[in-house]
Structure 1
Amino acid sequence: MDTRPLGVAAFRRIWLGQTVSNIGVGVTVVAVGQQVWELTHSSFYVGLLGMANFVPLIVFGLWGGAVADAVDRRKLLLAGSLIAWVSTLFILIQALVGMDNVWLIFVAVALNSTGFAITGPTRGAIIPRILTPELVPAANALNSLVYSIGAVAGPMIGAVALANGGFAVAYGVDALLFTASLYAALRLPSLPPLGEVRRPGARAVAEGLRFIAGSPVLMMSFVVDIIAMVFAMPRALFPELTDVSFGGSPAALGWLNAAMAIGSVAGALFSGWVSRVSRQGVALVVVITVWGLAVAAAGLADSLWLVVTFLAVGGVADVISSVWRQSILQLYAPDEMRGRLQGVFTVVVAGGPRLGELRAGATATMFGLSGAWVGGGIACAVTVIAVGLSVSGFRNFRAHQATAPR
C-alpha cells in the first residue's frame, strides 16, 4: 500500500480521526438495524432506514457540495461534524430512556445523514487541496481502508456491546469515538474557496450536474455504482438471516455486517497495483460484476463462514471500484467545482446502498429472503455488463485522461 499521503500532517490527522470515528459508526450501523428489527420484526422497516438516510443525502449532499465551493471548507466540515455528533447523542438518549419508538430512530438516522451529507463532499473536496495530484489515488485507497476498518471493527464491537450492555452502550461508544473526527477538523488549516465563487443554490448545483452530464466517463462512473448498490446490497437482510439461520446470535450479526469490510481491508492493504491499471472503464465493469456474483454466491451459501467469505470477496471488488471512481472524479474536476461534484458523488455512493437496502427489504417481503438476495446479485452482474460496456467513451477510457480538462 502507498502510504506517502500520511506524510502530510493535515491528511494524517483527517485519516486518523476518520479511522477512530468510523469504528463508532460501524457500531451504530449494527445496533440501529437490530433495534429496528426487534421493534418491528420486519426487514421492510429495516430497509426503510435506507430511506431515512437517503432523503437528507439528496437534499443536503447536493447543497453541501455547492456550499463547499463557496466557503471555507474547514468551517463547513466542522459544522457538518457537529450535526452528526448531535444526532448520535440523540439516538443514545432514546436508548437510555427506553423510548422504543421506531419513528424517533428514523429521525435520528435522518439527522445523522444530514451531517454526513455535508461532511462527505467537503472532506472529498479538501483532499486535492492538501495533497499533490500524484498522491490522490493513494489517499483514496487509504480512505477506503479507513471505512473498511470501521466496518470491520465497528460491527464486532457492536456485537459485544449489544450482547453485554444493550443499545445504549453501543450508541455511547459511537458518541465517544466521534470526537476524534471533530478534533481532526479543528486542526485543519483555513481552506477558503479558489477560483470563481458561485453563490450556493440551485444554479450552482445545476452547473455541477451539467458538468457531469457532459462527461460520459463521469456519468457512467456514477451509473455503474448505482447498479452495484441498488441491485446487490444485502445489508437490510442481515437481521432476518441472523434470526432465521443463526439463532439470532449477536456474533453472527456482527460477522455478517463486517464481512464485506473484511474484504475491503484486504483489498485496500494490497492496493498498490490499482494506480497502474490504465483501462479503468472496463476494469470497473469487471470488478462490479465480481461484486454482484459474490453477493449472489453468499445468498446461496448454507453456513455462516461461507456467507462471510463470499461477502468478503465482494468487499475486495467494491473497494477497488471505489478508489478508481473517486480518483477519476477528484482529478477530473477543477477546484472551484470539486465540492459540487463531490456532493453528487456522496449522494450516489452513500445513497445507492440506502436504496439497495430498501430494495432488499421490499423484495424480501414479496419473494422471500433468498430470492431478494440471490436475485439482486445476479441482476447486478448482468446489468452492469450490459450498461457499462454500451458507452464507448467509458469502455475505452484510459487513466491518464482523468486529468485532461482544467
Structure 2
Amino acid sequence: MTVLDLRPWRTSRDYRLLWSSGAVSVLGSFITYVTVPLQIKELTGSYLAVGAMGLVELVPMIVFGLYGGALADAVDRGKIVLLAEAGLGLMSSLLLANSLLPHPMLWLIYAVAAVAAALDGLQRPSLDALLPRIVPRDQLTAAIALSSMRFSVGAIVGPAIGGLIAATFGVSTAYTCDIVSFAIALSLLAQLKAVPPPSDADKPSLRGILEGLRYAGSRQELLGTYLVDLAAMILAMPNALFPFLADELGAPWALGLMYAATSVGGLAVTLTSGWTSKVHRHGLMVAIAAGVWGLAMAGAGWSTPVWLVLVFLAVAGAADMVSGLFRSTMWNQTIPDHLRGRLAGIELLSYTLGPQLSQIRAGGMASLVGVRPAIWTGGLACVVAVLGSAGLRGFIRYDDRSPSVS
C-alpha cells in the first residue's frame, strides 16, 4: 500500500493556502447542504418543495459555469475565487438573517440557493484552472488526490455535524457555523499570490465559450472523459433511491450509512493514492474505474444483506475516486492554459448535470421495474456504455509519456 503523496503540500505555499481554505469552506458548506433542505421541510412538510432545490440550482449552475470558465481565462483566477467566496459567505448570512425572522421566507431560501449556484459556477472553473499554475506538472495527480481527500472528509464529517447542530441547536446555529468557515477561508485566500492572465487573453464572450466547446469536441481524450463520467453518473448513481432501498431492506437506520459509504470508499483511495503518480495510461484507468463503479452499483442493487450493500457502495466510491483523479489529471495535462478556464467550465457541467439527470432516470426506472432492479440495471448499462468508449482511441490509448501530450 502506497501512502498519500504530500509533495504539493510541501513544495507550494499557494497550494497549502488553497487546500486549507477549501478544507474549512467545504466543511461549512456541507453543514449548510443538510441544513437548507431540513429548514424547507420544517417550513412546508413537502417533498416537492425540498426537491425543487435541484431545479432552482440547475440553470444558474449551467449558465454561470460556462461564463465562469471564460472569465477564468481573462482575469486573475485567484481574485475570482476570492470574490466568489465572499459572495457565498454573504448568501449564508442571508440564510441566517432569514432563519431569525418570526416567519422565515421560503422564496428567499430559493433565491439564495439560485445565487449561490451561480457563484459556485463562477468560482469552480477558476479553482480548477488555478491548480496547474501553482503546482508542478509531475505533482498534479498528487495535488488532485489531496484535494479529493479534503472533499471526502468534508462529505463525511460535514453532513453529520450539520445534521446534529441543526437538529440540536437549530438551523440558525448551523448557518452561523458556515459563516465562520467562510471568514476563515477568506483570510487564507487573501494571501494567494496574483495569477494574472496572459497579456493577449480574450475577453469573456460567447465566441470564446464556443471556442472552448469546439476544442473539447475535437480531442478524443477529453471527449472520452466527459462521456464516461456522464454515463456513470446518469445510469448508475442511485442516490435518489436510497431512502426507498433502506425501507425495502427493512433497515431505515442504514440510510445515512448508504449516503456516506461512497465517500468512505473515496477517502480510502485518496489516503493510499501515492501509486497514482506511477500510472501513465490515464484514459484506460478512467474506463476501468467507471466499469468497476457500474459493477459495484449493480452488486448493491442485487444484494439483500445491508452490510453487503454498504460494501458495494464503498467499492463504487473508491472506483469513482480513481476515475476522478485520472480524469482531472488528463484535463490538467492536455488543456492549453489560455483555454483552461473555459474547459473547466465544461468539466463542471459534465459532473453537475449527471447527478441531476440521474435522479430523473432512477425515479422513472423505479416506478416501472422497482427499486432494486432500477439500481442493478443502471449499473449494467453503465458497464455497456463504458465498453463503448473503447471506440475513442485517443481516450483509451492516452499515455502521459507520449510526446503528443502537451
Common fold: TM-score over 0.5: yes
CA deviations on 1:332-372 (whole Å, 9 max, x unpaired) are: 11211111111111121233222223433454455543344
**Are 1:226 and 2:230 matched, yes or no?**
yes
Per-residue deviation, 1:36: 5.2
- Which residue number corresponds to residue 318 of structure 1? 320
Per-residue deviation, 1:158: 2.5
The counterpart of 2:155, out of the listed 151, 155, 163, is: 151
Count of residues in correspondence between the two structures:
401
The counterpart of 1:377, out of the listed 376, 379, 393, is: 379
The counterpart of 1:329, out of the listed 312, 328, 331, is: 331
| One-letter amino acid matched to 1:261 | S
The structure 1 segments of at least 4 consecutive aligned residues displaced by more than 6 Å after TM superposition are none
The counterpart of 2:114, out of the listed 97, 110, 117, is: 110
Which structure has the bigger radius of gyration? 2
Closer, same or farther: CA 303–166 of 1 in aligned 2, 3 Å: farther
- Which residue number corresponds to residue 123 of structure 2? 119
What is the distance in 1 between the residues matched to 2:283 and 2:268?
23
Per-residue deviation, 1:189: 1.0
Closer, same or farther: CA 187–237 of 1 in aligned 2, 3 Å: farther
8 Å CA contact 2:298–2:375 kept in 1: the answer is: yes
8 Å CA contact 1:280–1:398 kept in 2: the answer is: yes
Closer, same or farther: CA 220–99 of 1 in aligned 2, 3 Å: farther
Residues 61-80 of structure 1: pairs in structure 2 closer than 5 A: 61-80=65-84
CA deviations on 1:64-83 (whole Å, 9 max, x unpaired) are: 11111111112111121122
8 Å CA contact 1:263–1:316 kept in 2: the answer is: yes
What is the distance in 2 between the residues matched to 1:238 and 1:166?
26
Per-residue deviation, 1:303: 5.0
What is the distance in 2 between the residues matched to 1:291 and 1:131?
29
8 Å CA contact 1:264–1:315 kept in 2: the answer is: yes
Per-residue deviation, 1:403: 6.8
8 Å CA contact 1:85–1:112 kept in 2: the answer is: no
The counterpart of 1:205, out of the listed 205, 209, 218, is: 209
8 Å CA contact 2:142–2:276 kept in 1: the answer is: no
8 Å CA contact 1:141–1:271 kept in 2: the answer is: yes
| Stretches of structure 2 lacking an aligned partner (at least 5 in a row) | none
8 Å CA contact 2:285–2:326 kept in 1: the answer is: no
8 Å CA contact 1:297–1:374 kept in 2: the answer is: yes
Per-residue deviation, 1:191: 1.2
8 Å CA contact 2:238–2:358 kept in 1: the answer is: yes
Q: TM-score, normalised by structure 2?
A: 0.89
8 Å CA contact 1:47–1:362 kept in 2: the answer is: no
Per-residue deviation, 1:94: 4.1
- Report the 3-state secondary structure (helix = DSSP H, G, I; strand = E; otherwise coil) of the residue aligned with 2:203: coil
Q: TM-score, normalised by structure 1?
A: 0.89
CA deviations on 1:84-140 (whole Å, 9 max, x unpaired) are: 222333334444447577655443332221121111110111111112111111111
- Which residue number corresponds to residue 174 of structure 1? 178
**Are 1:6 and 2:16 matched, yes or no?**
no
| Stretches of structure 1 lacking an aligned partner (at least 5 in a row) | none
Moved more, 255-264 or 49-58: 49-58
Seq. identity, %: 36
What RMSD in Å do the two structures reach over aligned CA positions? 2.7
- Report the 3-state secondary structure (helix = DSSP H, G, I; strand = E; otherwise coil) of the residue aligned with 2:344: helix
What is the distance in 2 between the residues matched to 1:34 and 1:369?
25
What is the distance in 1 between the residues matched to 2:381 and 2:26?
30
| One-letter amino acid matched to 1:182 | L
8 Å CA contact 1:47–1:357 kept in 2: the answer is: no
Closer, same or farther: CA 80–242 of 1 in aligned 2, 3 Å: farther
- Which residue number corresponds to residue 131 of structure 1? 135
What is the distance in 2 between the residues matched to 1:244 and 1:173?
36
- Which residue number corresponds to residue 279 of structure 1? 281
CA deviations on 1:287-309 (whole Å, 9 max, x unpaired) are: 11111222232334445543332
| One-letter amino acid matched to 1:400 | R
- Which residue number corresponds to residue 294 of structure 1? 296
